[in-house]
Amino acid sequence: MKESEMLIDSHAHLQDRQFSADLDQVVQRALAANIGKIVCVGYDYETSCEAVDLAHQYQQVYAVIGVHPHDAKTLTADVISKLYTLARDPKVVAIGETGLDFYRDLSPRDVQRQAFVEQIKIAAELYKPIVIHDRDAHQEVMDIIKKEKAGRNQGVMHCYSGHLPMAMELMKAGFYISFAGPLTYKNARKTVEVASRITLERILVETDCPYLAPEPVRGKRNEPANTRHIAEKLARLKQKSLAEIAYQTSLNASRLFNLKD
Ligand code: NI
């Protein structure tokens, strides 16, 4: 595998319990598949600390710290102040994942909105990009992004599921668009259209593991090594080589997260 074909998994949850028994092998398989860097994302304070620990344990892992919309009610004033402290760690590259999830509604919607706005402020004050999750809340997410200028230090809409006009608005607002396993699914017509039409210069790839395993391993536990399947699908859609996709998406992720070699 050539260096130029190195991919970055821009969104993984390596701290998930599903990896506790064999994480070393998971990371080894990622390296063998030429996934050179993995961005490990927290979803509450505890898993944010775990992401930072993993970033210290593995040189190629970086951490994103924050509170997921599902856990929005855990973002207390105390947790906010602890996130500021945790963000001083040099391997913390962004704030998130935050946003809105009106599909599962695991935290009340008002609490989700408030936690989203709070984390946009944290990212702004720390000059860090923001990682956003949006499920069935496209219009409200977009409204908050614009009102709060969430993209002032850039950001990424992870596991993109919206339509083309929203992707255009997001890019204008300073965002990258990240594609995960669903891009490879048979019913992904809308996502495929977005990926085909938007510029490769704003695209990232991710696994969101252990969830959303891509074809041909759909249904299994997902892991960073599978980033390759998403990049291959993107290569077919863009009619480019895997090396070109790897080069540009890795450059994009490195720019967004300010990743050092
Ligand atoms: Ni995630």
Is residue 45 a contact partner of residue 74, using CB atoms and an 8 Å limit?
Answer: yes
The answer on pLDDT for 1 being more than 90 is no
Percentage of the chain beyond pLDDT 90 is: 97
Distance between Cα 3 and ligand 1 center (Å): 27
Ion ligand 1, residue ranges at CB < 5 A: 208
Distance between Cα 13 and ligand 1 center (Å): 7
Alpha helices in 127-213 (DSSP H): 138-148, 164-172, 189-197
Q: What is the mean pLDDT of residues 102-115?
A: 95
Q: What is the mean pLDDT of residues 34-41?
A: 98
Is residue 122 a contact partner of residue 80, using CB atoms and an 8 Å limit?
Answer: yes
Distance between Cα 93 and ligand 1 center (Å): 15
For the chain, domains (ranges, CATH) are 3-257 (3.20.20.140)
Phi/psi at 156 (nearest 5 deg)?
-140, 140
- Residue pLDDT, tens place only, 160-212: 999 999 999 999 999 999 999 999 999 999 999 999 999 999 999 999 999 99
DSSP label at residue 218:
T
The pLDDT of residue 260 = 79
Is residue 155 a contact partner of residue 167, using CB atoms and an 8 Å limit?
Answer: no
Q: What is the mean pLDDT of residues 123-148?
A: 97
Q: What is the 3-state secondary structure (H, E, C) of 43-71?
A: CCHHHHHHHHHHHHHCCCEEEEECCCHHH
The pLDDT of residue 258 = 97
Angle between helix 109-126 and 138-148 (nearest 10) = 40
Helices and strands of the chain, counted as H and E runs: 9, 8
Confidence of residue 4 (pLDDT cuts 50, 70, 90): low
Distance between Cα 10 and ligand 1 center (Å): 10
Q: What is the mean pLDDT of residues 16-31?
A: 98
Is residue 96 a contact partner of residue 119, using CB atoms and an 8 Å limit?
Answer: yes
Distance between Cα 243 and ligand 1 center (Å): 26
Q: How far is CA 178 from CA 59, 78, 113, 133, 146, in A?
A: 23, 31, 22, 11, 19
The answer on pLDDT for 261 being more than 80 is no
The pLDDT of residue 5 = 85
Distance between Cα 125 and ligand 1 center (Å): 23
Distance between Cα 209 and ligand 1 center (Å): 8
Is residue 67 a contact partner of residue 43, using CB atoms and an 8 Å limit?
Answer: yes
Is residue 96 a contact partner of residue 64, using CB atoms and an 8 Å limit?
Answer: yes
Exposure class string for 177-198: b at 16+ Cβ within 10 A, else e: bbbbbbbbeeebeebbebbeeb
Distance between Cα 133 and ligand 1 center (Å): 7
Distance between Cα 155 and ligand 1 center (Å): 14
Distance between Cα 182 and ligand 1 center (Å): 13
